[in-house]
Amino acid sequence: MQSTFDPAADKAEPTLAREGTIWMCGACGKTGKDRDVMGDTSCRTWAVLVEENSIVRDETGRAISASAVNDPVAELTW
């Protein structure tokens, strides 16, 4: 049986967020324009592309919700 794994397919998704969007870690809320350098391996694994102006933060600055770009009805909450 041949493997269907394609290492190039993982790189098909752009790692730089386009204007008006930002990568956000779905686990901790860290953000960054480049998914590959925004935090540790966990942050890169759980990164979701969100609209920058949709991020809601609490009084301490911690992200508490954001709207995902790939699914406008999806909302991330922590």
The confidence score (pLDDT) of residue 60 equals 92
Residue 9 lies in a domain: no
pLDDT at 5: 44
Closest alpha carbon to 35 in 70, 20, 71, 46: 46
- Conformation bin of residue 29: beta by default, left when phi > 0, alpha when psi is -120 to 50: left
Specify if 10 maps to a domain: no
Predicted TM-score (pTM) of this structure: 0.71
Q: Which residues of the chain have pLDDT under 70?
A: 1-13, 71-78
In a domain, 37, yes or no: yes
Residue 4 placed within a domain: no
Domain hosting 47: range is 15-77
State the pLDDT at residue 3.
45
27-42 pLDDT, tens digit each: 888 899 999 888 888 8
In a domain, 5, yes or no: no
